[in-house]
Amino acid sequence: MRIAIVNDLLMAVEALRRAVTSCPTHTVAWIARDGAEAVSKCESDRPDVILMDLIMPVMNGVEATRRIMAHSPCAILVVTATVEGNVSLVFEAMGHGALDAVNTPVLGANGNLSGARELLAKIESIGHLIGKSTSSATVVWKSGASRTPAAKGLLQNRMHLVVIGASTGGPTALAEILSQIPKDLPAAFVLIQHVDVQFATDFARWLDGRTQLHVRPAVPGCRPEPGTAWLAATNDHLLMAPDLTLDYSRDPVETFYRPSVDVFFKSAAACWPLTGIAALLTGMGRDGAEGLLRLRKAGWLTIAQDEQTSIVYGMPKAAKDLDAVDRVLPLPSIATAIVNHVLNQRPQSMKESIP
């Protein structure tokens, strides 16, 4: 892949250059020293991937990401060494269309390079999303366990469950939806956003400051509860267990984006005993589409963000093409649809058993 580097620090540029060229299939397309230069270069020479720093002179990485995605869209990976104190910039850049974020590799005094493996793994994942890889992966969910007394209790309480999956552009989309949810809504939320583990806790805190709900990183053994939004918060896949607790799994290991929306949606379809609400937001690729179809077949209300308000109309389009969507809605209308459904529709027992 042709990869561009946007960074004003010479040492960081050299570390990134060495990391990129250590893989024989990657080349450096060009280097820009600030965001404005990156915008200009991208207009005339669009690379496969841009490694975008955040804090730069002239124009920062957030504004550069916004302008590139508006005029010369391509895959952008935020690569920064200055997350502390600027974590909101990571999620703002992702809200404008950056795919993910990772720490800048460090070039030591002895010439050794640390952090290159993590960077190259992110680039590889992006390669799958943009069609630069020929391999593929299918998410399979199997659950042979029977439902537990906790599930039977839910049949009496009829608690609503709302599950939301997002990727490119997802942070700001999630923030907009959650900001409109009243704190006393009788519903539990689970959020799956493609974000690296090193940013997940800060992302939960960032979302928590933008909603009346309690947004928390999901930990093994926690259970959906009203007023709380659990966020997938590791590089493993979040899933629902038969006892209705949340857990993490490395499997399926071949799934490129972690945590996977499909893995969680399919596990919810297999384990949650009631109908619920599922929304698939802006994002590149197809993750979540098959899981949304599984939930729709089980009687859930399924919602996809529309093309006009999506930063990247990939995941919602894939779901629509599969006939997995009950409603296609603009982003500002999704929270209202969720609230109205929770207040006016009582959850029902699942229509069918999902294998």
Q: Is 18 left (phi over 0), alpha (psi -120 to 50) or beta?
A: alpha
Report the alpha-carbon distance of residue 172 to residue 306 in Å, rounded: 15
Q: Which is the catalytic residue, given 72, 125, 167, 260?
A: 167
Largest CA distance in the chain: 65
Active site residue 287: yes
353 by Cβ neighbours in 10 Å (0-12 / 13-18 / 19+) ranks as: exposed
Report the alpha-carbon distance of residue 144 to residue 280 in Å, rounded: 27
Q: Cα angle at 160 between 156 and 166, to 5 degrees?
A: 150
Q: Which is the catalytic residue, given 194, 196, 262, 306?
A: 194
Query: Which helix (H) or strand (E) covers residue 124, if one does?
Result: helix 116-129
Active site residue 88: no
Separation of CA 330 from chain center: 18
156 by Cβ neighbours in 10 Å (0-12 / 13-18 / 19+) ranks as: exposed
Closest CA to 166 of 20, 306, 287: 287
Report the alpha-carbon distance of residue 160 to residue 206 in Å, rounded: 24
What are the backbone dihedrals phi and psi of residue 172, each rounded to the nearest 5 degrees, phi first? -75, -30
Report the alpha-carbon distance of residue 129 to residue 288 in Å, rounded: 14
With a CB cutoff of 8 Å and minimum separation 6, the contacts of 249 are 236, 237, 239, 263
Beta bridge partners of 160: 187
Active site residue 179: no
Return the DSSP state at 59: S
Q: Which is the catalytic residue, given 34, 287, 306, 341?
A: 287
Q: Which two tokens stand for residue 46?
A: 């669009």
Instruction: Decide if 118 contacts 92 (C-beta within 8 A).
Output: no
Show which residues are catalytic. Answer: 167, 194, 287
